[in-house]
Amino acid sequence: MATDGVKDTTETSEVMGLRLAVLSRGPRLYSTRRIVEAARQRNIHVDVCDPMKFSLMVTDGSIDVLHKGKPFAYDAVIPRIGHSITQHGVAVLRHIEQLGIWTANTGQGILHSRDKLQASQILARNRIPVPKTVYVRDILDVEQAIDIVGGLPVVVKVTQGTQGEGVFLRHTAYEVRNLVQGLLLTGKSVLVQEYIAESHGKDIRALVVGDKVVASMRRRARGREFRSNYHLNGTVESVDLLPEYEEAACRAARVLGLNLAGVDLLEGTNGPLVLEVNSSPGLEGIEKASGVDVAGAIVDYLMDETAFSEVDLGQLLRTVPGQGVLSLQLRNHPKMVGKRLEDVFASTPVFALSRGDRLVWNPEADIQLRYDDVLICYGELRELRSSLRQAMLGVPKEALSFDEEASETHG
């Protein structure tokens, strides 16, 4: 039983070999079977664990996990959590993460990817191209939504769905209104999305493992069906990805917090558009189309990375009383844009600067700030907030220094 919330896997790995748990309710499903086969070929002890058979325990100063009444003694986890049990499966996964056990995807990453609206928000915020999308909560907003996404036809979809379910193509405003009204009446959250005509009935699935695409395929719909999903009887074929498509797929998986993902890309006139990111991608279609041992690539990645578990940096730093992390988005504070970091702060409480698709650690004091920069600061929260507020007001560094000296003099 764990006593301090941290699992030491070193001894287990050395004595018994790596122990892998695949969280899945379907041990006979193709993807689960392939991962188990690949693990056993590499002499890894592997078990399929039903997410519905876990007991999660929280006691004074510790947490622990039981599966079918027995201690959960594994070094690594690959989650294959179905949409119907997302909330429960993520609760189990988060508990496992708190024990320091390596997981291929985090619970937070799975939640991000399964909410189509939230995923689109995160992707767009990180400058990853996506189809124009409008979240609709009132039937009166339909006409405006159609105009915003570029006119008819449009794609209507629910925010939660998988394998093409809850995705519709509509050609008239009357059809769109009726469909949206029906979905809203059943309690669904509805998106109206731009229709990419040049990619009708086809898309590209890129399988991302770690920081690279290990396999890809083009999917095509049959007949009048516009959804190209393999599970909807679509056809699949091998495809060689252009560098910009591979980069878009890897970035999409990364910003959503996924180490293992199936990224669906549309072939737009101006390049790739990320349509959806799947945190539990099926392996059957892509292995057959590409000829790549995707399951083997996943297990190889696990073997390389299992010694290192994901960490919530903010949560970790907050363990020190009074300390924490704050971020400042410069687009909300235009007075700072164009200035050097040392001109904005009397001291420099910035330990990272997010710029575009890169992170600058410990930025130099003379770095010039840009409109889309995000400053990430760590320190004693009360002093940090005071310093940031002064910077927002545009108070010169000298004024801040003078106030500090004056307070010391009158102390």
| 273-303 tens-digit pLDDT | 999 999 999 999 999 999 999 999 999 999 9
For residues 181 and 110, give the distance between their C-alpha atoms in angstroms, rounded to a whole number. Answer: 29
CA end-to-end distance (rounded Å), the chain: 53
> Would you mind telling me the total number of residues written for the chain in this entry?
411
pLDDT for the residue 140: 94
pLDDT tens digit sequence for 114-141? 999 999 999 998 889 999 999 999 999 9
> DSSP per residue over 177-236, as a string?
HHHHHHHHHTT--EEEEE--GGGTTEEEEEEEETTEEEEEEEEE--TT-----GGGT-EE
> E strands of 52-164, at which residues?
54-59, 62-67, 70-71, 76-79, 102-103, 133-136, 154-158
Whether residue 256 is contained in a domain is answered as yes
pLDDT higher than 90, residue 335: no
pLDDT higher than 70, residue 153: yes
Same domain for 188 and 203, yes or no, is no
Same domain for 33 and 100, yes or no, is yes
Whether residue 357 is contained in a domain is answered as yes
pLDDT higher than 80, residue 257: yes
Whether residue 120 is contained in a domain is answered as no
pLDDT higher than 80, residue 315: no
pLDDT for the residue 321: 82
Question: Which residue type occupies 253?
Answer: A
Whether residue 126 is contained in a domain is answered as no
For residues 307 and 4, give the distance between their C-alpha atoms in angstroms, rounded to a whole number. Answer: 18
* CB 287, CB 294: distance < 8 Å: yes
Q: State which of 258, 280, 305 marks the end of a domain.
A: 305
Same domain for 379 and 289, yes or no, is no
pLDDT for the residue 61: 76
For residues 107 and 32, give the distance between their C-alpha atoms in angstroms, rounded to a whole number. Answer: 19
CATH code: domain of residue 381: 3.30.70.1450
pLDDT higher than 80, residue 266: yes
Same domain for 279 and 202, yes or no, is yes
**CB 379: neighbour CB atoms within 10 A?**
19
pLDDT for the residue 131: 96
pLDDT higher than 50, residue 177: yes
Q: Facing residues of 277 across strands?
A: 263
pLDDT for the residue 137: 94
pLDDT higher than 60, residue 408: no
Element (H, E) at 300: helix 294-305
CA angle 129, 132, 136 (to 5 degrees): 140
Same domain for 139 and 211, yes or no, is no
pLDDT for the residue 121: 95
Same domain for 317 and 300, yes or no, is no
Cα-flanking dihedrals φ and ψ of residue 142, to 5°? -65, -45
- Greatest Cα pair distance in the chain: 83
For residues 206 and 263, give the distance between their C-alpha atoms in angstroms, rounded to a whole number. Answer: 5
pLDDT higher than 90, residue 348: no
Q: State which of 112, 141, 167 marks the end of a domain.
A: 112
Q: DSSP letter for 322, please.
A: T
Same domain for 336 and 258, yes or no, is no
CATH code: domain of residue 35: 3.40.50.20
For residues 41 and 35, give the distance between their C-alpha atoms in angstroms, rounded to a whole number. Answer: 10
Whether residue 3 is contained in a domain is answered as no
pLDDT higher than 70, residue 406: no
Give the best-scoring range by mean pLDDT among 32-41, 92-101, 157-166, 232-241.
32-41
Q: State which of 77, 112, 147 marks the end of a domain.
A: 112
Confidence of residue 409 (pLDDT cuts 50, 70, 90): very low
pLDDT higher than 60, residue 12: no
Same domain for 398 and 338, yes or no, is yes
pLDDT higher than 70, residue 224: no
Same domain for 230 and 295, yes or no, is yes
pLDDT higher than 60, residue 252: yes
**CB 197: neighbour CB atoms within 10 A?**
10
**CB 5: neighbour CB atoms within 10 A?**
12
> Average pLDDT in the 241-264 region?
96
* CB 96, CB 63: distance < 8 Å: no
Element (H, E) at 353: strand 350-355
- The model carries a pTM of 0.78
pLDDT for the residue 226: 66
pLDDT for the residue 405: 38
pLDDT for the residue 234: 75
Same domain for 65 and 44, yes or no, is yes
Whether residue 189 is contained in a domain is answered as yes
Ramachandran quadrant class, 330 (left: phi over 0; alpha: psi -120 to 50; beta: rest): alpha
Domain that holds residue 265: 198-305
Same domain for 89 and 46, yes or no, is yes
pLDDT for the residue 227: 64
Cα-flanking dihedrals φ and ψ of residue 8, to 5°? -90, 110
> Average pLDDT in the 224-232 region?
61
The mean of the pLDDT values for the chain is 86
Q: Facing residues of 17 across strands?
A: none
Q: Facing residues of 157 across strands?
A: 167, 191
Same domain for 360 and 389, yes or no, is yes
pLDDT higher than 50, residue 373: yes
Number of domains forming the structure of the chain: 4
